[in-house]
């Protein structure tokens, strides 16, 4: 069952009924000012940091769900009937409803009783404000008197404090309202230590306003039945403490067929510390007023929206493909790329599942996000790399998380997730391959515990961090956890409520991770290529030797016979072995060891992949572990705390699936790789939305596994490393368009049913027009298979660049600005 459809031309997902299984959300803003918005206008906004600069309030885990939003009410002043044109919060049945989630904007349209409305929400590029453009049309044969009310509820900046510290916060709230009532300023704590305020402005003369929540709602009433709306008149209330809100009341007289437009702005502004006031206690508006005046003009709104579309369109222009599969095209051309950008921006901070309070920027998460977004925004990728490296310690270790506003590491979580530093190598490698900008390697970057080194030095220390921490089998010690946050082999927790990851209570000298071993070999080889490329062959050789040695250790101590082991626990017992009663096979080391080149070409990799297919694959994707844990194992940690089939305990943890897709592609198995891709591709799951339940246009972190009662149900959509890795798997390995240090490689591993595909890729200033086709006539002389990344022969039998055949599959560089044609013939 579907709740909408893709509009490919307009790059929108169109939701055609408001009661989706869960709120289907979108993101507004791409930079400093951002927010989430649901298909019924729920959500909230923040400036730079979803916890510390929260503009509006949202009620997580509320009933009904998705409360707090960018609310609009319409009221027929002749009858007193009122409704929300976005369905929530009034939830009156509408005659028509449609939500279009586009790239960083959302438009919700509806009609009731001959009054139609459209609300467009977006953040103009580079601005610290969001625009709500409301259009109301009278489709009745007679004139209509309609009242429109706007509504936001301000959060008192620190979202955590806002949700808990009521003894203080019920007394601190302050607002200012301009003489005409059109601009409402939220200035809680502005008088003393803050030099920022929020504002909510309206383009039309107002009949009234409210800034005190209870005056607007009325006693004991909810957002669905505000008193001001019911009676058709605002209270002109000024908040003193309690809960400041912003609401405007605009009266619209509409002739038959007439449309009126009202623009609302919700914005954030700062003043210099010594220039905050124009009179005692009064906000100095000299800086913000021109901004408000500008954006309240409908022509400016039009131009701002066009500018937004130009920016997003340009970003997506980095790669556009035309394959035989519509769901692949949708994801690669629009939605997966967009999700990569959003995930890069937001890390894991705000979504329907991330409250904006919890985790700042995750070190490993942000490093992996780079893999999917570097081609879309290389400049910001560069900044991010520096921020991340600056949270490293001189040991090479890293803070597991940092706050985006302060860019300092989060002491409460600390360090000791032993995979963390290695991801930085992958992130930087992706940046270098995409941009060729080797200057970044020579930049000095501080360590968070003092001292500094070049970025190149940071990467060396990242790798050394693993080598300095090897266990009894010569395999990397796991620390508190590796990629799998829930495999806590040194944190034995028996106290309710305690964090599984930070309760590190064992010496940590025994538990080893085969996953980290795979990641290390991959990172060491990537680094060796970089070192070689910048004229440091000795470094290259030494890390290659370390990768070889690690490979040997994995084959000797990390291979269970049919698959890679997962780990050794604190007692030295194997985890992820046929010898275990539960948790026999884990996905992570299968994908990652093969990506690191371990066992490729000698049958080990193909055997591991066959085991994945036999033991872990379901129609809804590949599960993380089988059989899942049915009991709590204190020596394994959080993984065994989840009910079987959920989260790390045997769900289809989508982040890991692309590793297997890549491994299959490396083994030359185009059908298997693409088959796995389609199983979790959200667009390909659209028709089973009643099962999948999350948005069909973005990946979710997990899909319940075969052991769950709700097998196939997705959760934790949007902010997940799944976005970046699936983008890498489909674009770089299946379609095979892979940036490398020496140029753009085109080495597809396609499903056998595909005759080919075409693509346009912007890479280092050059536009590559790529056409891949299968050599049709069997009589055609068999070309020499090109040398490939791994040890299997490539599908490619010939590459022709601007009419000239080339050797191998790496297209040589061309002058920036050039457009070159690349024809690729495959077997
Ligand atoms: C979550 C975390 C990520 C971790 C994964 C597996 O997605 O954000 O860092 O690797 O879970 O536990
Ligand atoms: C919880 C989640 C896991 C996530 C971790 C991050 O353990 O289950 O998926 O990675 O929190 O701290």
Average pLDDT over residues 313-318: 94
Query: Is the predicted pLDDT of residue 777 greater than 70, yes or no?
Result: no
3-state secondary structure 529-571: HHHHHCCCHHHHHHHHHHHHHHHHHHHHHCECCCCECCEECCC
Do the Cβ atoms of 783 and 825 come closer than 8 Å?
Answer: yes
> What is the pairing mode between strands 144-157 and 129-138?
unpaired
Average pLDDT over residues 124-130: 98
Q: 199 - beta bridge partners?
A: 185, 267
Find all residues with CB under 8 Å of 626, minimum gap 6, and list them: 584, 585, 615, 616, 650
**Is pLDDT larger for residue 602 or for residue 135?**
135
Separation of CA 365 and ligand 1 centre (Å): 7
> What is the pairing mode between strands 196-202 and 282-283?
unpaired
The minimum-distance atom of ligand 2 relative to the CA of 648 is 9
Separation of CA 648 and ligand 2 centre (Å): 8
Nearest CA to ligand 1 atom 8: 365
Do the Cβ atoms of 616 and 585 come closer than 8 Å?
Answer: yes
Distances in Å between the alpha carbon of 736 and those of 345, 739, 783?
26, 9, 19
Separation of CA 335 and ligand 1 centre (Å): 21
676-692 exposure pattern, b = at least 16 Cβ within 10 A, e = fewer: bbbbbbbbbbbeebebb
Nearest-ligand number for the alpha carbon of 656: 1
Q: Encoding tokens for residue 297? A: 């003009």
What is the structure's pLDDT at 607? Answer: 98
Distance in Å from the first CA to the final CA of the chain: 38
Nearest CA to ligand 1 atom 9: 365
8-state DSSP, 26 = E
* Residue corresponding to tokens 């968070």: 448
CB distance 365 to ligand 1 below 6 Å: yes
| Catalytic hit among 49, 482, 485, 546 | 485
Separation of CA 486 and ligand 2 centre (Å): 6
Measured distance CA(587)–CA(654) in Å, rounded: 11
Distances in Å between the alpha carbon of 582 and those of 301, 500, 630, 640?
58, 20, 8, 10
Separation of CA 421 and ligand 1 centre (Å): 15
**H or E element, residue 660:** helix 657-666
Distances in Å between the alpha carbon of 825 and those of 98, 639, 782?
44, 46, 11
8-state DSSP, 174 = B
Do the Cβ atoms of 158 and 295 come closer than 8 Å?
Answer: no
118-156 exposure pattern, b = at least 16 Cβ within 10 A, e = fewer: bbbbbbbbebbbbbbbbbbbbbeeeebebbbbbbbbbbb
CB distance 419 to ligand 1 below 6 Å: no
Distances in Å between the alpha carbon of 523 and those of 186, 512, 516, 520?
49, 18, 10, 5
Measured distance CA(296)–CA(256) in Å, rounded: 26
Q: How far is CA 386 from the centre of its chain?
A: 20
- Indicate the pLDDT class of residue 484, thresholds 50, 70 and 90: very high
What is the structure's pLDDT at 789? Answer: 45
Say whether 198 sits in a helix, a strand or coil: strand
8-state DSSP, 783 = P
**H or E element, residue 424:** helix 420-435
Do the Cβ atoms of 2 and 689 come closer than 8 Å?
Answer: yes
Average pLDDT over residues 94-102: 98
Nearest-ligand number for the alpha carbon of 413: 2
The minimum-distance atom of ligand 2 relative to the CA of 413 is 12
What is the structure's pLDDT at 788? Answer: 43
Average pLDDT over residues 281-288: 97
Nearest-ligand number for the alpha carbon of 701: 1
Query: Is the predicted pLDDT of residue 217 greater than 70, yes or no?
Result: yes
Measured distance CA(438)–CA(431) in Å, rounded: 9
Q: Encoding tokens for residue 168? A: 């203080």
Q: Encoding tokens for residue 431? A: 């940046």
CB distance 486 to ligand 2 below 6 Å: yes
Measured distance CA(226)–CA(600) in Å, rounded: 65
Query: Is the predicted pLDDT of residue 492 greater than 50, yes or no?
Result: yes
Q: 702 - beta bridge partners?
A: 653, 715
Separation of CA 200 and ligand 2 centre (Å): 36
What is the structure's pLDDT at 792? Answer: 65
Measured distance CA(107)–CA(121) in Å, rounded: 6
Average pLDDT over residues 357-380: 93
Average pLDDT over residues 48-53: 92
Q: Encoding tokens for residue 161? A: 């404090």
Nearest CA to ligand 2 atom 4: 485
What is the structure's pLDDT at 441? Answer: 98
% of the chain exceeding 90 in pLDDT: 93
Say whether 513 sits in a helix, a strand or coil: strand
Query: Residue 406: is it exposed, middle or buried by C-beta count within 10 angstroms (0-12/13-18/19+)?
Result: exposed
Q: 452 - beta bridge partners?
A: 446
Q: Encoding tokens for residue 27? A: 């993101």
The minimum-distance atom of ligand 1 relative to the CA of 648 is 12
Residues in the chain: 827
Mutate to test the pocket of ligand 2, among 400, 420, 485, 653 (most ligand atoms within 8 A of CB): 485
Model confidence pLDDT, tens digit, residues 222-256: 999 999 999 999 999 999 999 999 999 999 999 99
Do the Cβ atoms of 583 and 632 come closer than 8 Å?
Answer: no
Average pLDDT over residues 452-468: 98
CB distance 722 to ligand 1 below 6 Å: no
What is the structure's pLDDT at 408? Answer: 87
Nearest-ligand number for the alpha carbon of 363: 1
% of the chain exceeding 70 in pLDDT: 98
Query: Is the predicted pLDDT of residue 35 greater than 90, yes or no?
Result: yes
Nearest-ligand number for the alpha carbon of 484: 1
Peptide bond before 627: cis, by omega within 30 degrees of 0? yes
Separation of CA 217 and ligand 1 centre (Å): 41
Separation of CA 505 and ligand 2 centre (Å): 19
CB distance 483 to ligand 1 below 6 Å: yes
- Indicate the pLDDT class of residue 793, thresholds 50, 70 and 90: confident
Measured distance CA(6)–CA(638) in Å, rounded: 38
Nearest-ligand number for the alpha carbon of 347: 1
**H or E element, residue 120:** strand 115-122
What is the structure's pLDDT at 403? Answer: 82
The minimum-distance atom of ligand 2 relative to the CA of 358 is 12
Residue 485 a catalytic site member: yes
Mean of per-residue pLDDT scores for the chain: 96
Nearest CA to ligand 2 atom 6: 485
Mutate to test the pocket of ligand 2, among 488, 624, 648 (most ligand atoms within 8 A of CB): 648
Closest CA to 548 of 524, 571, 526, 532: 524
8-state DSSP, 794 = P
Separation of CA 505 and ligand 1 centre (Å): 22
Peptide bond before 216: cis, by omega within 30 degrees of 0? no
What is the structure's pLDDT at 779? Answer: 40
CB distance 638 to ligand 2 below 6 Å: yes
Distances in Å between the alpha carbon of 774 and those of 192, 777, 782?
69, 9, 12
Model confidence pLDDT, tens digit, residues 392-448: 999 999 999 988 778 888 888 899 999 999 999 999 999 999 999 999 999 999 999
Model confidence pLDDT, tens digit, residues 494-510: 999 999 999 988 988 99
Helices (H), 757-825: none
Distances in Å between the alpha carbon of 102 and those of 126, 374, 376, 642?
18, 21, 17, 35
Measured distance CA(550)–CA(68) in Å, rounded: 52
Model confidence pLDDT, tens digit, residues 577-628: 999 999 999 999 999 999 999 999 899 999 999 999 999 999 999 999 999 9
Find all residues with CB under 8 Å of 330, minimum gap 6, and list them: 6, 8, 683, 697
Separation of CA 676 and ligand 2 centre (Å): 24
The minimum-distance atom of ligand 2 relative to the CA of 701 is 9
CA atoms within 13 A on the CB side of 416: 19
CB distance 362 to ligand 1 below 6 Å: yes
What is the structure's pLDDT at 580? Answer: 98
Model confidence pLDDT, tens digit, residues 810-827: 999 999 999 999 999 999
pTM for the predicted model, two decimal places: 0.96
Find all residues with CB under 8 Å of 370, minimum gap 6, and list them: 344, 381, 384, 385, 427, 430, 431, 724
For residue 411, is it left (φ>0), alpha (ψ between -120 and 50) or beta? Answer: alpha
Question: Angle of helix 336-346 relative to helix 378-389, nearest 10 degrees?
Answer: 40
What is the structure's pLDDT at 780? Answer: 42
Mutate to test the pocket of ligand 1, among 721, 722, 723 (most ligand atoms within 8 A of CB): 721
CB distance 53 to ligand 2 below 6 Å: no
Measured distance CA(599)–CA(601) in Å, rounded: 6
Measured distance CA(694)–CA(716) in Å, rounded: 8
Nearest CA to ligand 1 atom 7: 720
């Amino acid at each position: 069952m579907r709740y909408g459809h893709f509009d490919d031309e307009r790059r929108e997902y169109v939701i055609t009924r408001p009661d989706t299984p869960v709120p289907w959300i979108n993101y507004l803003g791409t930079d400093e000012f951002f927010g989430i918005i649901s298909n019924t206008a729920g959500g909230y906004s923040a400036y730079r940091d979803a916890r510390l600069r929260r503009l509006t309030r949202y009620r997580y885990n509320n009933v009904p769900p998705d409360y707090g939003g960018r609310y609009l009410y319409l009221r027929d002043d002749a009858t007193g009937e009122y409704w929300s044109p976005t369905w929530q919060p009034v939830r009156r049945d509408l005659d028509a409803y449609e939500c279009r989630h586009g790239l960083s904007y959302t438009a919700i349209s509806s009609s009731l009783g001959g009054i139609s409305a459209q609300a467009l929400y977006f953040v103009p590029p580079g601005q610290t404000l969001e625009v709500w453009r409301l259009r109301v049309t009278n489709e009745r044969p007679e004139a209509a008197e309609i009242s429109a009310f706007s509504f936001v509820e301000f959060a008192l900046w620190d979202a955590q404090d806002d949700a808990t510290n009521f003894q203080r916060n019920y007394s601190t709230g302050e607002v200012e309202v301009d003489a005409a009532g059109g601009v409402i300023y939220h200035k809680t704590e502005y008088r003393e230590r803050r030099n920022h305020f929020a504002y909510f402005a309206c383009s039309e003369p107002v009949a009234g306003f409210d800034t005190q929540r209870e005056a607007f709602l009325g006693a004991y009433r909810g957002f669905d039945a505000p008193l001001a709306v019911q009676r058709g008149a605002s209270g002109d209330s000024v908040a003193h403490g309690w809960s400041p809100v912003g609401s405007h009341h605009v009266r619209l007289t509409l002739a038959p067929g007439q449309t009126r437009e009202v623009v609302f702005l919700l914005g954030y502004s700062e003043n210099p510390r010594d220039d905050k006031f124009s009179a005692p206690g009064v906000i100095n508006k000299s800086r913000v007023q021109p901004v408000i005046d500008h954006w309240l003009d409908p022509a400016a709104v039009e131009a701002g929206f066009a500018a937004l579309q130009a920016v997003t369109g340009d970003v997506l222009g980095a790669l556009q493909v035309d394959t035989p599969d519509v769901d692949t095209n949708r994801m690669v051309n629009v939605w997966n790329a967009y999700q990569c950008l959003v995930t890069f921006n937001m890390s894991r901070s705000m979504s329907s599942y991330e409250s904006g309070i919890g985790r700042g920027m995750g070190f490993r998460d942000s490093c992996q996000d780079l893999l999917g977004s570097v081609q879309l925004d290389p400049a910001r990728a560069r900044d991010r790399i520096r921020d991340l490296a600056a949270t490293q310690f001189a040991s090479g270790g890293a803070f597991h998380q940092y706050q985006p506003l302060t860019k300092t590491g989060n002491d409460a979580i600390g360090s000791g997730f032993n995979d963390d530093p290695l991801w930085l190598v992958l992130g930087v490698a992706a940046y270098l391959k995409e941009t060729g900008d080797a200057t970044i390697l020579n930049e000095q970057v501080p360590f968070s515990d003092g001292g500094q080194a070049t970025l190149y030095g940071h990467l060396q220390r990242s790798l050394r961090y693993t080598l300095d921490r090897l266990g009894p089998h010569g395999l990397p010690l796991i620390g508190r956890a590796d990629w799998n946050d829930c495999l806590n082999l040194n944190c034995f927790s028996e106290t309710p409520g305690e964090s599984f990851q930070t309760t590190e209570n064992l010496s940590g000298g025994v538990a080893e991770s085969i996953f980290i071993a795979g990641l290390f070999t991959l990172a060491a080889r990537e680094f060796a290529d970089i070192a070689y490329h910048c004229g440091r062959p000795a470094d290259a050789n030494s890390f290659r030797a370390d990768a070889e040695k690690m490979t040997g250790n994995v084959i000797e101590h990390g291979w269970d016979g049919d698959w890679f082991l997962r780990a050794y626990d604190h007692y030295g017992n194997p985890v992820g072995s046929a010898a275990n009663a539960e948790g026999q096979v884990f996905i992570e080391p299968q994908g990652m060891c093969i990506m690191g080149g371990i066992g490729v070409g000698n049958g080990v990799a193909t055997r591991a992949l066959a085991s994945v297919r036999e033991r872990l694959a379901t129609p809804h994707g590949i599960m993380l572990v089988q059989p899942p844990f049915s009991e709590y194992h204190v020596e394994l940690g959080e993984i065994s705390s989840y009910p079987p089939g959920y989260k790390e305990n045997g769900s289809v943890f989508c982040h890991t699936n692309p590793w297997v897709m890549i491994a299959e592609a490396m083994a030359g198995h185009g059908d298997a790789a693409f088959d796995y891709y389609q199983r979790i591709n959200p667009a390909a799951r659209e028709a089973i939305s009643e099962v999948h339940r999350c948005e069909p246009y973005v990946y979710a972190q997990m899909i319940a596994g075969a052991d769950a009662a709700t097998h196939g149900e997705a959760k934790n959509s949007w902010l997940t490393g799944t976005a970046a890795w699936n983008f890498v798997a489909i674009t770089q390995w299946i379609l095979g368009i892979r940036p490398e240090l020496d140029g753009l490689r085109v080495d597809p591993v396609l499903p056998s049913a595909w005759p080919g595909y075409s693509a346009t890729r912007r890479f280092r200033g050059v536009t590559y027009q790529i056409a891949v086709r299968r050599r049709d006539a069997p009589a055609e002389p068999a070309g020499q298979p090109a040398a490939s990344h791994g040890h299997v022969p490539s599908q490619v039998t010939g590459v022709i660049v601007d009419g000239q055949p080339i050797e191998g599959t790496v297209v040589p560089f061309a002058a920036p600005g050039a457009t070159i044609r690349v024809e690729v013939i495959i077997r």
